[in-house]
Structure formats: C-alpha cells, structure tokens
Amino acid sequence: MSDHLARHRVADLFLDTFPYNAHTTASDALWAGLPVLTLAGQTFASRVAGSLLRTLGLPELIATTLDEYEEAALRLANDPERLGNLRARLEANRETSGLFDGGQFARNLEKAYAAMWEIHASGAQPRTIAVSAAK
C-alpha cells in the first residue's frame, strides 16, 4: 500500500475516468495529496469522485461537461503554481475534513441508526433524517 500511495505523490494531477469514476483509487490519490479532476455525470458511479472533492472543499475540480473537463485538464497541466496551490489546500483540508476521519464516521453512523430506530419504534413512517457532523 505504501508503494501505491507513493506513486500518487510523484504525479501532478489525477485525471478521473468517465462514466465510471474512480472510487477507492480517487480516495487513495486524495489521501496521498494528489488533486483529482473529475467529470460528474448523472449516475452514482459517475458522481463518487465529485462527492469526495466536495467533502474536501475542492469543488472547482469537478467538471460538468466533457469540454469543461478537457479545458480544466489543459489549464491545470500548464499551471504548476495553481496545481501546487490545489495540492496545498488538499493537504490542509485532508486534516480537517471528515472524509478520512473513520471514528467520526462511525459515531455519525451510530447516530443515524439510533434516529432510524427511534422513528421505527414510535410507529412513524420512515423519513429523511440529518445527522450532525459535530465532534
């Protein structure tokens, strides 16, 4: 695993695939500090990397059209300073984002299960719930 992550550290930009986005591979790249450029589609499989990027505060790396994706890739490839800034933001946000905080994820999931059980136990119909991400 360390060799796999090390390869990400020497790359400049991860160009995501479409229509099936990288899932674990994008997560690994982001964990290693490698910015990911993605093209978001309409399906779950084509929106995973975008969700990861939004959670890390990097929505500008999510293209919505093929032309936008190509333009962003070329712009980033020709602007090492911008790539460096994105990498720095990614590193900083990685430490504060809940994306890589497994303990917080488990606590939030437990809160969600408890809320679902309370709804069920009260005889109410299932409904949308919101779980606070506060630590």
pTM of the model: 0.79
- In this model, does residue 134 exceed pLDDT 80? no
Q: At residue 83, what is the residue type?
A: L
Statement to judge: residues 91 and 115 lie in one domain: no
Statement to judge: residues 83 and 123 lie in one domain: no
Number of domains in the chain: 2
Q: At residue 111, what is the residue type?
A: K
Statement to judge: residues 55 and 108 lie in one domain: no
Statement to judge: residues 63 and 105 lie in one domain: no
Statement to judge: residues 107 and 96 lie in one domain: no
Range of the domain at 126: 101-135
Mind listing the pLDDT tens digit for each residue in 53-90? 999 999 999 999 999 999 999 999 999 999 999 999 99
Statement to judge: residues 71 and 111 lie in one domain: no
Q: Within a 10 A sphere around the Cβ of 60, how many other Cβ atoms?
A: 14
Statement to judge: residues 95 and 120 lie in one domain: no
